[in-house]
Structure 1
Amino acid sequence: MLVGYSSSSEEDGEPGSEARSRNSRRSVEEDERSRDLPAKKKARTEELDPKTRLPLPGCLLSMFLDDDDEALTEDSSLHGGRIRSFKHERGNWATYVYLPYPPEEEFEELLEELLSTLGAHGLILTQQEEFHLSLSQTVVLRHHWIQPFTQSLQSGLSQCRRFACSAATLKVYCNAERTRTFLGMEVSTGHAQLLDLVRVVDKTMTEFQLDTFYKEPSFHVSLAWCVGDQTEKMKELLQELQSLVDNREEGPFLLRLDCVEVRCRTGNKTFRFSLKTS
């Protein structure tokens, strides 16, 4: 008997033809899915609740402070009621030159008595955080000026000699903006040497087009301060306060300041310049 064999490829194709057919269909389906994928992703993104989105890191948000944030840094209640003489800006450094005064025990006792007396008359003063004698006004220094500015001071002050000065007379001061009143102790000896230091500091200020010191300065060490202009009321109490200075058991108090080192405070940095010994 003769057996007939069908040659139809639909029934008996070549080996592997069925696998190739399945792969072909799978690739077509994947292409169709890939074309639809961007649209589906976009739809899902639009459907997301904004609350589920990740917030920006704080370091990025702080780069773009708004007016409210800037107003917060200028809030006087955060600085004991003090008001800035100039608006704070990034890259600007508040700078001043001074002679430091390390307080002695007798001075601290006297200051406590003075503040107590003022408080009894309704004047509450805040003790200075540190005590010094100013040789310049407070000026604004750009950050990139700090190094040449301090180098100029070093060059001039290295030629100045050490000396001593003293103070014994209380005096009332008020800043130019009339926002703070100070009780200070005015220098009585060493005035000429202090003027020599000011001339050196003023030369550096002029180089950088900054304000120089007062023409007729009243050199003093500030003891305490209060908010506002309380000049008249404090002056009425000066005689009583001065008696606390003059009538002590050990004799009149004399504030002695050994001027061996000038300092410059700019922002949070402090530079020291030693004076010549002889």
Structure 2
Amino acid sequence: MLVGYSSSSSEEDAEAGSEAERRKSLEDDFPAKKKPRTEEQVSKNRLPLPGCLLSMFPDEEEPETEDSSLHGGRIRSFKHERGNWATYVYLPYHPEEDFMELLGELLHAAETRGVVLTPQEEFHLSLSQTVVLKHHWIQPFTQSLRAALARCRRFLCLAGRLKVYCNAERTRTFLGMEMLTGHAQLLELVRVVDQTMTEFRLETFYEDPSFHVSLAWCVGDSSVQMEECLEQLQNLVDEHEDGPFQLKLECSELRCRTGNKTFRFPLEST
């Protein structure tokens, strides 16, 4: 079943933001050479700060580029502005060998049906939409999250049903694996995260979310083609050599990524 909205849109913004931050860091470390100035110019103008000092503060601003070719064709879901940091909250998934082998089979099977997918660089389950934080909001925002999550306990989720997702702008299509268990606990985490979002007047999560881990993606709206081969892909999951494959997500630590920074929030042991 096609889902017209998805927490997957947070991934493209965050990935694009992370790549832009890495380029910004390189630019700061190796600033472009400038033409030599005359003695008269030096006397009239204030001397610039050395590049080594500028690179000590790379997270005050973000680069202005919107070139989608620099992000594998991905397009931001919101306009980039200086000082704005793409931010989202998620549960990380650390893939096992069986998962990576299955993912390779899924990508190959999809390609034989004319759908070329790119695997995710990392895997996670989103618990918020991508929102925009000003730089000076980062510390109070993460402090609020830490306080709100202090009493939340860790748990285990299982996923095993493939589903097609498309972002709101129809610029990317995702193959995801939807959670089969842990829905109530995930909704509770979303409720806690939404409290902080509301405190900072930011957009809360979807009203009826489809909790999932995105496996791979392609540029554009390829939902129809992916739906046509979804049954074949699901058969690979159900007929796994060790029995029906289930993705096990150990929900022991929430993370918040804002720009090139990642904050960790361990959950209490049961």
TM-score, normalized by the shorter chain, greater than 0.5: yes
Deviation (angstroms), 1:90: 1.5
* RMSD value, Cα: 2.1
Match of 2:80 among 77, 84, 88: 88
Match of 1:97 among 86, 89, 97: 89
2:220 maps to 1:228: yes
More helix, by proportion: 1
Deviation (angstroms), 1:104: 0.2
Instruction: Indicate the SS of the match to 1:178.
Output: coil
Match of 2:182 among 190, 193, 197: 190
Deviation (angstroms), 1:53: 6.8
> Could you tell me how far apart the structure 2 residues matched to 1:108 and 1:96 are?
25
Instruction: Indicate the SS of the match to 1:189.
Output: coil
CA 1:58/1:164 → structure 2, altered by over 3 Å: closer, same or farther? same
> Could you tell me how far apart the structure 2 residues matched to 1:76 and 1:190 are?
36
TM norm structure 1: 0.75
Deviation (angstroms), 1:248: 1.5
TM norm structure 2: 0.77
Structure 1 window deviating more from structure 2 (252-261 vs 86-95): it is 86-95
Unaligned residue ranges in structure 2 (runs of 5+): 1-34, 51-62
2:138 maps to 1:146: yes
Match of 2:208 among 198, 211, 216: 216
Deviation (angstroms), 1:123: 1.1
How many residues matched? 219
Taking CA–CA contacts closer than 8 Å with sequence separation of 6 or more, which of the two structures ends up with the larger relative contact order?
2
| Higher CA-based Rg | 1
Deviation (angstroms), 1:87: 1.8
Deviations 1:223-269 (A, max 9, x none): 00000011111011110000000001110100001100000000000
Deviation (angstroms), 1:176: 0.7
Match of 1:265 among 257, 262, 269: 257
Instruction: Indicate the SS of the match to 2:161.
Output: strand
CA 1:59/1:165 → structure 2, altered by over 3 Å: closer, same or farther? same
> Could you tell me how far apart the structure 2 residues matched to 1:134 and 1:240 are?
26
CA 1:58/1:232 → structure 2, altered by over 3 Å: closer, same or farther? farther
Deviation (angstroms), 1:164: 0.4
| Residue pairs, 1:17-166, within 5 angstroms | 70=64, 73-166=65-158
Deviation (angstroms), 1:58: 9.7
Deviation (angstroms), 1:190: 0.2
Give the letter for the 1:181 counterpart.
T
> Could you tell me how far apart the structure 2 residues matched to 1:52 and 1:77 are?
34
Give the letter for the 1:174 counterpart.
C
Match of 2:237 among 239, 245, 262: 245
> Could you tell me how far apart the structure 2 residues matched to 1:82 and 1:59 are?
35
> Could you tell me how far apart the structure 1 residues matched to 2:190 and 2:112 are?
38
> Could you tell me how far apart the structure 1 residues matched to 2:152 and 2:246 are?
25
Instruction: Indicate the SS of the match to 2:202.
Output: coil
Deviation (angstroms), 1:86: 1.2
> Could you tell me how far apart the structure 2 residues matched to 1:260 and 1:86 are?
31
Instruction: Indicate the SS of the match to 2:254.
Output: strand
> Could you tell me how far apart the structure 1 residues matched to 2:86 and 2:159 are?
27
> Could you tell me how far apart the structure 2 residues matched to 1:155 and 1:212 are?
18
Q: Counterpart in 1 of 2:57?
A: none
Match of 2:160 among 157, 160, 168: 168
Deviation (angstroms), 1:75: 0.8
Match of 1:202 among 169, 190, 194: 194
Instruction: Indicate the SS of the match to 2:180.
Output: strand
